[in-house]
Amino acid sequence: MTKQGRYKQSGEQSKKHVHVSENGHTGNKSGCPISKKCGGCQYIDKSYAEQLKIKTDQVKKLLAPYGSVDEIIGMKEPYHYRNKVNAAFQHKRNGEILAGVYEEGTHRVLSVDDCKIENRLAQEIVETIRGLLRSFKITVYNEDSGYGLLRHVMIRTGHATGEVMVVLVTASPIFPSKKNFAKALVKAHPQITTIVQNINDKDTSMVLGERNQVLYGRGFIEDKLCGKTFKISPTSFYQVNPVQTELLYNKAMEYANLTGEEVVVDAYCGTGTIGIVASDHAKQVIGVELNKAAAKDAITNVKRNECKNVRIYDGDAGKFMVGMAEAGTDVDVVFLDPPRSGSTPEFFDSVCKLAPKRIVYISCGPESLARDLKYLKSKRMYQVEKIALVDLFPWTEHCETVVLLSQRKADDYVEVELELDELDVTSAESKATYAEIKDYVLKEHGLKVSNLYISQVKRKCGIEVGENYNLPKSEDSRQPQCPEEKEKAIKDALEHFGMI
């Protein structure tokens, strides 16, 4: 759970404690009474101008070996931008209920009067829920004893649409008077468009469980970004600062420089936002996302925005790219927007095989970005052209980076070519190419093996090699069968490459 403070808005009061910095943005010396304990806003005591400078310096230092960094794109009004608010609850000894955030590194709930970054309405709704708990006799979950019902509340708001989703996370599916509770909540805040009960009955520090039950409305909200509409479910990823996200996506589109002719990959696509925004300017967009709920939302979003040229796949981006490379798909531009931990060598090896003209890397983790750029640099195929910074997370130490890489001229690098007979169209789950398997078998066993033998053994081991790949053309045609010795050697190779 993120650790930001919240509650009763006293905007006027907090203004008394702020100071104005050189660029007119305000800094906060004492505006948040729990900032030291909460730990969510590491830069709460700095002016906004100082925050931007620190972030720029940090990224410049990390990315110095790759290129120069453009001036950071800051937020005009860097307050109450978070469209997702999580609240934890706790009973005090005197019976009073606290609603707030966990004190950093603990599971003690901190109650707060004001949070600079969270959506104001969401904060008011949390406060209302806290009040309703007593009248509805709803108990608060106690992590130590395992008793109690309400574990967390998550509120997501659509910045452009004004839609509001309240997710009540309960430890049990049995929620007495839930419909009446939902009714009372909507009466207090008619802006709420949907209420979902999420059941989390596991002993875990994860906020959300796997089951959802809609108590009111559609069970999701919609928001708009760059003129497109997006469905947001309780569990799907959606950027928390929509105002800055539009600037981030605009920068990514500028870097991609699409003309309408390109085949584009949107890797780690979440609910499909980047690919859908790109789709008006591309021939075809292929999105891939691991989280099933997000991929499902992405498919809905493709239909919702009537994008005829976008296809979404559910799966691991690295493995998906391996499959694309092995199938020899034409790709012109790759967007990737991985989680903070960054991407993988497997992903970049396949990107190099696909050889798109441009790569647009969007990152919320400068360290993992630097690591990945180092890896890409070692492949000598791409060079960094531009680096932009967009501040998506004012008052915190986090920042978003966009990097444009373009393919170096052919004589600057050694191109790795895939042979046609390597094409094994459904090899998304394979980890080594046929050539790699052949090399291994020759080196380790001194045996030469054919593609046919490899495909026979792969099939025997239950590895999908494509419906008709290397199968006899007709029922009665005779094909040589892989001898036992070679079969053993190929199996050894498959084991070596972690394929069986």
Ligand X SMILES: C[S@@+](CC[C@H](N)C(=O)[O-])C[C@H]1O[C@@H](n2cnc3c(N)ncnc32)[C@H](O)[C@@H]1O
Q: Which residues bind ligand X (CB under 6 A)?
A: 237-239, 268-270, 273-274, 288-291, 294, 316-317, 337-339, 364
User: How many other CB atoms are found less than 10 A from the CB of residue 90?
Assistant: 20
Residues annotated in a binding site: 239, 268, 289, 337
Which residues does 157 contact at the CB level (< 8 Å), separation at least 6? 83, 84, 119, 121, 122, 163, 164, 165, 221
Degrees, nearest 5: CA angle 30-35-41: 110
| Residue 45 or 254 with smaller CB distance to ligand X | 254
Question: Would you name the residues annotated as active-site residues?
Answer: 364
Amino acid at position 35, single letter: S
Least CB distance from residue 273 to ligand X, whole Å?
5
Q: List Cα–Cα distances, 493 to 361, 424, 432, 488, in angstroms.
A: 34, 17, 9, 9
- CA–CA separation, 422 vs 373, rounded Å? 28
Amino acid at position 470, single letter: N
Length of the chain: 500
Least CB distance from residue 105 to ligand X, whole Å?
25
- CA–CA separation, 331 vs 284, rounded Å? 9
Quick one: DSSP state of residue 240? Answer: S
DSSP E strand boundaries for 227-357: 228-232, 263-267, 284-289, 310-314, 333-336
Least CB distance from residue 463 to ligand X, whole Å?
20
Least CB distance from residue 326 to ligand X, whole Å?
17
| Residue 14 or 291 with smaller CB distance to ligand X | 291
As a whole number of Å, the CA-based R_g of the chain is: 26
Residue 434 token pair = 């046929």
| Residue 120 or 398 with smaller CB distance to ligand X | 398
Least CB distance from residue 238 to ligand X, whole Å?
6
Residue 196's DSSP bridge partners are 167, 214
| Residue 175 or 268 with smaller CB distance to ligand X | 268
Report which residue's Cβ sits closest to ligand X.
270
Least CB distance from residue 46 to ligand X, whole Å?
25
Pairing of the two strands 310-314 and 358-363: unpaired
Least CB distance from residue 73 to ligand X, whole Å?
16
| Residue 217 or 270 with smaller CB distance to ligand X | 270
Q: Which of 234, 103, 110, 225 is nearest to 161 (CA)?
A: 225
Least CB distance from residue 339 to ligand X, whole Å?
5
| Residue 127 or 289 with smaller CB distance to ligand X | 289
Three-state DSSP at 88 gives strand
Quick one: DSSP state of residue 39? Answer: -
Pairing of the two strands 358-363 and 400-407: antiparallel
Alpha-helix residue ranges (DSSP H) falling in 158-316: 178-188, 242-256, 273-279, 292-304
Residue 326 token pair = 């092995």
- CA–CA separation, 487 vs 315, rounded Å? 30
Whether 216 contacts 195, CB under 8 Å: yes
Q: Which of 162, 115, 149 is nearest to 11 (CA)?
A: 115
| Residue 277 or 490 with smaller CB distance to ligand X | 277
| Residue 89 or 361 with smaller CB distance to ligand X | 361
